[in-house]
Structure 1
Amino acid sequence: MELGTKSLTVYELLYVIGIIAISFSSIFVRWSEADVAVIAMYRLYLTNLLLLPLAWRYRNELFRLSPRQWGWLTASGAMLALHFLLWMASLRLTTVASSTVILTLEPLMVMLGSYFLFKTKASRIMLIGMFIAIAGSAVIGAGDFRLSGTALLGDALSLLGTAAVAIHMLIGKKLRESIDAFPYNFWVFATAATFLALYNIAQGNSFTGYEAREWGIFLLLAIVPTLFGHYLFNWLLKYMNATAVSMSVLGEPVIASLLAWVLLKEALAGYQLVAGAFVLFGVWLFIRFGDKAEKPEPKPREGETSFDRTETGTV
């Protein structure tokens, strides 16, 4: 499932598809009446169920992992589970605009982490694009931020969930250097779902007895924002730097707010639409120049050429 030759146009198209896909996540969660931990668990288990037909093709890669890689896969899955648990819970306490706009802090967290861990630097135009997008996102959510009651708790949960997914993204960036997209996604989703299952058992949440409508929402979450969103972004981590991929969340408040306006009847002012245009422009600047911020090649040691070096791929 890896492309042999990098085509920037193809990657940008897939990136946009991923942004649209993840924007439906908040809508589906708001439609469901199940506990958020149950929603997240079945979302991931059903995703892996849909991926099973490909498992035989990748049977060797699925189990050809070092103990160190298994350990970091577990950590990545734990962070993804924590992200879903906290962020989905925030959607029950605050508006879609407020919850998703806080996610725009993710690329800042990832950029800082990439700099310290991978020595990845952002270009000036990438920083400008990020600033434009974050400023526009802040405008979108400004009218919905409420510093009291359950809304404040919802905002705090979204912030903690953002930190969790940033850590997940940084771990994934390193692991994807040596693990193909399918085994990485399959095991991360399975691990995250299992952590959520243990949480549901501890909380006494029911695993059965849901109406057909709920199962339909679980399936939609597996197909749209997970397969065409998270899976796609994890696949792109091998071809784009982690900060550029994490910038996808800056487009989510725009599309999610529009969807909430149409489908959930949440208010959306004209100035928020204008801010949305600025967000999309900032995201476009970032993804257009995101490939220029990759980690530089290490200098060869004395007597060694670039062809002599091999990637260990472990963290």
Structure 2
Amino acid sequence: MEERVPPLVGLAVAVVAVSTSAILVEWSGAPSLVKALYRVVFTIALLLPITLARPRDRAAFGKIGTRDLLLAVLSGVALAVHFASWFESLRWTSVAASVTLVQAQPLFVVAGAWALLDERVGPKTVAGIAVALVGMAVMSVGDALLGAAPAVAGPDPVYGNALAVLGAAMAAAYVLLGRSLRQRLPLLPYVVVVYATCALTLLAATLARGHPLLGYGTEEWVLFLAMAAGPGVFGHTVINWALAHVESSVVSVSLLGEPVGSTILAMVLLAEFPSLVTLVGGGVVLAGVITTARARES
């Protein structure tokens, strides 16, 4: 099936899936670290039986070299910090601002891909990224600059926005490491190792903060499972699959569609109504995504 799905179609599915993440996180009342932990744990639970049922994937675990294992561990730690910081940012700022800022990762990805992976980024790709980032800036600060009525701001937008930027930097590290590893490792063994490292990192952080691991209601467990099945399996796992077929800069800028999807869902499901300036910024983000996707095919 992997060979029959066009990479850009896979990316479109992933963008829709990850767009639901912020809504599911907001609906949950559990601590941020607990939400992040169980999202990853349930993702592993969904993927591991499939992985073990495939002889080629089972054999791949024993073929992972020391260097690749170390890189996969680093990728898992980066993913854990991304989840922890971003989930927490949603407590302090609006969905539109948090999800937009966490997708500032192309700034880090393009620089890292050029410096570490020797990827060439053409002028059209750079232009698409620039347009998308302009849209992100409009969504984030346009209301304040123009004196327009802002979107729901949250109790501490500055702190929440800073956490979202940290999440963006860690997401970029995760994407870059994944781009390198996915050239050598099959999809499912790679993500199982990365997600397992991510889960162990989040577990250590959860225990260190003294958050309980049990005692949550049925609704919370359903939300944890939904985070795993939607954004986890159809979102991040499909993104990892795409990294073997598409340049990391294209993957990252495609994910800039997430703020638009999440903002729309927040309007419908959370009654968070952003201003016209924020909506215009979302349109500019989409223009950047389209420009970059077309540049990749030209």
Q: Which shifted more, 131-140 or 240-249?
A: 131-140
Give runs of aligned pairs for residues 29-108 of structure 1, distance below 5 A.
Answer: 29-56=25-52, 57=54, 58-108=57-107
Change (3 A) 1:147 1:24: closer
The answer to whether the 8 A contact 2:151-2:273 is kept is no
Shift of the alpha carbon at 1:276?
A: 2.2
CA contact (8 A) 2:94 2:152 kept: no
Please give the secondary structure, in 2, of the residue aligned with 1:208.
coil
Deviation at 1:284, TM superposition (A): 1.3
Q: Is the 8 A contact 2:152 2:274 kept in 1?
A: no
2:249 aligned with 1:253: no
Q: Are 1:186 and 2:182 matched, yes or no?
A: no
Partner of 1:158: 164
**1:27 equivalent in structure 2:** 23
Correspondences of 1:197-208 after superposition (within 5 Å): 197-208=203-214
Structure 1 residue runs of 5 or longer lacking an equivalent are 293-315
Aligned residue for 2:104, secondary structure, equals helix
* Corresponding residue number in structure 2 for 1:302: none
CA distance in 2, matches of 1:224, 1:74: 23
| CA positional deviation for 1:273 | 2.8
RMSD over aligned Cα, in angstroms?
Answer: 2.0
Partner of residue 218 from structure 1, selected from 224, 234, 243? 224
* 1:133 is the counterpart of 2:119: no
How far apart in 2 are the matches of 1:51 and 1:190?
Answer: 11
Deviation at 1:147, TM superposition (A): 10
* Residue range with higher mean Cα deviation, 13-22 or 232-241: 13-22
Shift of 1:65: 0.9
CA shift, 1:198, in A, is 1.1
Deviation at 1:291, TM superposition (A): 5.5
Report 1:281-296 matches (<5 A): 281-290=287-296
In structure 1, what is the Cα distance between the partners aligned to 2:207 and 2:11? 36
1:44: how far off? 0.7
User: What number of residue pairs does the alignment pair up?
Assistant: 288
> What are structure 2's unaligned runs of at least 5 residues?
144-149
CA contact (8 A) 1:77 1:168 kept: yes
Distance change (3 Å), C-alpha of 1:149 and 1:208: closer
| C-alpha deviation, 1:55, in angstroms | 2.2
Cα distance, 1:279 vs structure 2: 1.7
Structure 1 vs Structure 2: percent identity of aligned residues?
A: 35
Supply the distance in 2 between the matched residues of 1:47 and 1:65 (Cα, whole angstroms): 21
**2:278 is the alignment partner of 1:272:** yes
CA–CA separation in structure 1 for the residues paired with 2:151 and 2:277: 16
Farther off after superposition, 117-126 or 235-244 = 117-126
Question: Structure 2 vs 1, CA of residues 272 and 64 (structure 1 numbering), >3 Å: closer, same or farther?
Answer: same
Give the counterpart letter for 1:28 in structure 2: L
Which AA in structure 2 matches 1:95?
S
Structure 1 residue 146: deviation in Å?
A: 10
Q: What corresponds to 1:118 in structure 2?
A: 117
- Per-residue CA deviation, residues 1-33 of structure 1 (Å, 9 max, x unaligned), is 642x7x7xx222211111111111111111100
CA 1:93–1:159: 2 relative to 1, 3 Å: same
Shift of 1:53: 2.3
1:113-142, CA deviations, whole angstroms, 9 ceiling, x for partnerless residues?
000112212111112211221212222222
| Letter paired with 2:60 | E
Q: Residue 18 of structure 2 contacts residue 230 of structure 2 at CA under 8 Å; is this kept in 1?
A: yes
Looking at structure 2, the residues matched to 95 and 147 of structure 1 have their Cα atoms a distance apart, in angstroms, of 5
Distance 1:196 1:127 in 2: 34
Q: Is the 8 A contact 1:146 1:152 kept in 2?
A: no
d(CA) in 2 for partners of 1:148 and 1:37? 19
- Structure whose alpha-carbon radius of gyration is higher: 1
Structure 1 residues 270-279 or 87-96, which shifts more?
270-279
